[in-house]
Structure 1
């Protein structure tokens, strides 16, 4: 493969990564509007009433969890691989560690969304015959969902923190974006503390919308922001750090 083909391929992945980052932000906004303004069943405390609410809104909830969890997680895989390339993960142990956490987070989010949708379908069907048993089953499913990532954002927080450190070290990401990443990451890690869970999750979600948009624009505008590997006999080109 020629040097030009390699660099074109790298630029293509960066653009796909930028588009994925923008989708992540869009999905957050869809989730905020959908889960709070349109169909907010998280505030329903009684399990029986929650199952009834899910049955009444099953189609919309299924779509929301597909967009905000399953497709979001799949897009995160693309973004993670693009950032691995951009931050020179082949030579940076820190970037490779960030990639690992990004993939882990992707799997957790996808699994959370699938468990919610499949579990909801089972519970709604069961509720037609035995509402009390359906409510009990849902409590178990919801606990698994929350444990995988429905309520704790520590894995995502660690991912953003690692990316921010790696970005500062090699200049592959805008400096101010990396500083914002420290705020986002710290908020995500804070969700592991029960007393800080709600505040941390809110801060993490809102600040990460800005972080994803900024990251996506940076990757689309500077698709060759990563260090380019030279062909044999050529000098490698290392662009100046993004601002």
Structure 2
């Protein structure tokens, strides 16, 4: 199996991790109040204490698994783009690998936050709350609370695909729109909306780029 096809499967897996994350959030976490404005840090730690495995599974899929297959996708996309736009392909590859590193870092910190908060909550709830707030802030800074690295990579890949005509119009259009929405997470007020739009756009783009790599031959 070629790198292109493996990368295409990795892209489809990226989409699957996003779909899993949204489904888990809507069906399991949101009904319990997790992630809403109304629930405070102490209530979050209480939820973690009761169900730590839920959040560890969620973090492991949407962060860690996503980052590992994302790295494969980045390399495969670079191999496709370098035939027509080698310089832009190199820049996009660098940004993509940075994004994958940030995502896996956010996932590992997120899991440590859950584990340590659950442990300390047994004896010192105040300390557990402070610890979770601190580690959660680091997690959000790495990638859970903004989509800058991801939006730049998707945008650059789509731009290079446009210049070199190495990607289809649907993939390019979805990528440019998704990249723009991710950059909007820099603005504090509509950040949650922009993040949701980026997530949904990324699902569609991952499916599009995955199918492109699996089905369409690479340009020579």
TM-score range, shorter chain: over 0.9
* Shift, 1:176, TM fit: 2.5
**Equivalent residue for 1:58, pick from 52, 59, 71:** 52
Aligned position for 1:155? 149
**Equivalent residue for 1:182, pick from 176, 187, 196:** 176
Answering whether residue 218 of structure 2 is matched by residue 225 of structure 1, we say yes
* Shift, 1:91, TM fit: 6.0
Deviations 1:171-192 (A, max 9, x none): 2111221022110000011101
* Shift, 1:90, TM fit: 9.4
- C-alpha separation in 1, matches of 2:117 and 2:83: 43
Aligned position for 2:205? 211
Q: Comparing 179-188 with 54-63, which one deviates more in the overlay?
A: 54-63
* Shift, 1:146, TM fit: 0.6
**Equivalent residue for 1:25, pick from 15, 18, 31:** 15
Root mean square deviation, CA, Å: 1.4
TM-score (norm 2): 0.94
Q: Comparing 50-59 with 81-90, which one deviates more in the overlay?
A: 81-90
Answering whether residue 127 of structure 2 is matched by residue 136 of structure 1, we say no
Q: Comparing 177-186 with 77-86, which one deviates more in the overlay?
A: 177-186
- C-alpha separation in 2, matches of 1:27 and 1:226: 29
- C-alpha separation in 1, matches of 2:35 and 2:83: 39
Contact 1:25 1:208 in 2 (8 A): yes
* Shift, 1:206, TM fit: 0.7
- C-alpha separation in 1, matches of 2:152 and 2:57: 28
Structure 2 counterparts to residues 1-243 of structure 1, below 5 A: 12-40=2-30, 41-43=34-36, 45-88=39-82, 92-222=86-216, 224-227=217-220
Deviations 1:181-235 (A, max 9, x none): 110000011101112311211111111111111111111112x3132xxxxxxxx
TM-aligned CA distance change 1:214 to 1:91, over 3 Å: closer
Q: Comparing 40-49 with 172-181, which one deviates more in the overlay?
A: 40-49
* Higher-Rg member (1/2): 1
- C-alpha separation in 2, matches of 1:97 and 1:183: 20
* Shift, 1:84, TM fit: 0.4
Q: Comparing 74-83 with 28-37, which one deviates more in the overlay?
A: 28-37
Q: Which runs of 4+ in 1 moved over 2 A?
A: none
* Shift, 1:76, TM fit: 0.5
